Amino acid sequence: MINHFKLVCSPDANELTLKNTQLLAHQLGCEVVDSLALLKAEEAYFQYLDNDLSLSLLLDDKLSDLKFDLVDGEIGFRACRVSKSNEVVAKAIGCKPHYRPKVLDATAGMGRDALVMAMLGCQVLMHERNRAVYLLLNNALQRLAQNTNFNSIAERLKLANNNSLTTISHITNQAENIDVIYLDPMFPERKKSALVKKEMRIFKLLVGEDPDANELLEEALQANVKRVVVKRPKGAPVLAEKNPSHEITAKKFRYDVYLK
Ligand SMILES: C[S@@+](CC[C@H](N)C(=O)[O-])C[C@H]1O[C@@H](n2cnc3c(N)ncnc32)[C@H](O)[C@@H]1O
């Protein structure tokens, strides 16, 4: 697992990159270096290039980068084409023709599921506890908000660097009026590592596994909301040995839906 972070900034960086780097260095209190030389296995380096924040680390002894993108690439492409009727997530969270639930995505990760829910018209409050993942996602959300095609979607997404285990009951008792808690904890990968996408392998190096996923479901089930939805890989056991009210299956995963 990665446990040490630094910031890298070229001495020739432009004004915007320097400004963003200094701000982040101040927030993180971490060292700024001018090159990626001597990167060790347990280290990762944040790097700004203008507005884009990425993380560099060693994967199989090779330098690899991770950047979240909600506009371009595979997920941007998919999200653009969200069909209100056929997205299984719409069914799982209980969207109706004139009703869009307000969702707490308690395991925000790369923000992909939250983006789809926002594109369906839901307000989504996202909680992410891993600091590095939070920073990358926050940067992706800022770029989403700057894109004129997506800024109205970005307005529906709010992100906080919180551990949902300790904040769910507080948030759902506030005037936030959360209808649905959405959970998608990490699941141990069963495929051979070479087959898993590089992006997901880097993500796992950062986050590890979520050994407290059972407790998270138990906490969510006690919260003041209408339903709790858990995304699970196909064939995975239910969380906390709690059988859902019903299941909705997709090609590679399923949703366990707990109606309250
Ligand atoms: C599988 S990823 C979620 C992927 C996400 N659904 C997406 O579409 O990109 C799980 C994420 O949940 C976060 N997480 C797990 N337990 C959490 C908790 N108790 N509070 C906040 N974040 C949590 C992990 O740090 C990780 O980033």
Indicate which CATH number applies to the domain containing 255: 3.40.50.150
Report which protein residue has its CA nearest ligand 1's atom 10: 185
Report which protein residue has its CA nearest ligand 1's atom 12: 107
C-alpha 129 to ligand 1 mean position (Å):
7
Which range of residues forms the domain containing residue 35?
4-66
C-alpha 145 to ligand 1 mean position (Å):
22
Mutate to test the pocket of ligand 1, among 128, 138, 162, 228 (most ligand atoms within 8 A of CB): 128
C-alpha 82 to ligand 1 mean position (Å):
22
Boundary-marking domain end, from 66, 94, 111: 66
Q: Residues enclosing ligand 1, CB less than 6 A? A: 106-107, 109-113, 127-130, 133, 163-165, 184-186, 207, 210, 216
My answer on whether 87 and 54 are in the same domain is no
C-alpha 35 to ligand 1 mean position (Å):
31
C-alpha 130 to ligand 1 mean position (Å):
8
My answer on whether 34 and 77 are in the same domain is no
Boundary-marking domain end, from 66, 87, 103: 66
User: Among the atoms of ligand 1, which is closest to the Cα of residue 231?
Assistant: 6
My answer on whether 87 and 9 are in the same domain is no
My answer on whether 77 and 59 are in the same domain is no
Question: What is the Cα–Cα distance from 214 to 239, expressed in whole angstroms?
Answer: 5
My answer on whether 36 and 121 are in the same domain is no
My answer on whether 121 and 19 are in the same domain is no
User: Among the atoms of ligand 1, which is closest to the Cα of residue 112?
Assistant: 8
Q: What is the pLDDT of residue 220?
A: 97
Number of domains in the chain: 2
My answer on whether 135 and 42 are in the same domain is no
My answer on whether 122 and 210 are in the same domain is yes
Boundary-marking domain end, from 22, 43, 66: 66
User: Among the atoms of ligand 1, which is closest to the Cα of residue 116?
Assistant: 8
- b/e burial code for range 33-60 (CB count within 10 A of at least 16 → b): eeeeeebeeebbbbbbeeebbebbbbee
Q: Is 52 left (phi over 0), alpha (psi -120 to 50) or beta?
A: beta
Q: What is the pLDDT of residue 60?
A: 86
Write out the chain's pLDDT in tens, 260 residues: 787 888 999 889 999 999 999 988 888 888 888 887 777 888 899 999 888 999 999 888 888 999 999 988 766 777 777 765 468 999 999 999 999 999 999 999 999 999 999 999 999 999 999 999 999 999 999 999 999 888 899 999 999 999 999 999 988 888 789 999 999 999 876 665 555 688 888 899 899 999 999 999 999 999 999 999 999 999 999 999 999 999 999 888 999 999 98
My answer on whether 137 and 156 are in the same domain is yes
Q: What is the pLDDT of residue 42?
A: 84
My answer on whether 172 and 214 are in the same domain is yes
Report which protein residue has its CA nearest ligand 1's atom 11: 109
My answer on whether 117 and 189 are in the same domain is yes
Q: What is the pLDDT of residue 190?
A: 62
Mutate to test the pocket of ligand 1, among 115, 125, 209, 210 (most ligand atoms within 8 A of CB): 210
My answer on whether 198 and 101 are in the same domain is yes
Mutate to test the pocket of ligand 1, among 93, 129, 165 (most ligand atoms within 8 A of CB): 129
Q: What is the pLDDT of residue 46?
A: 94
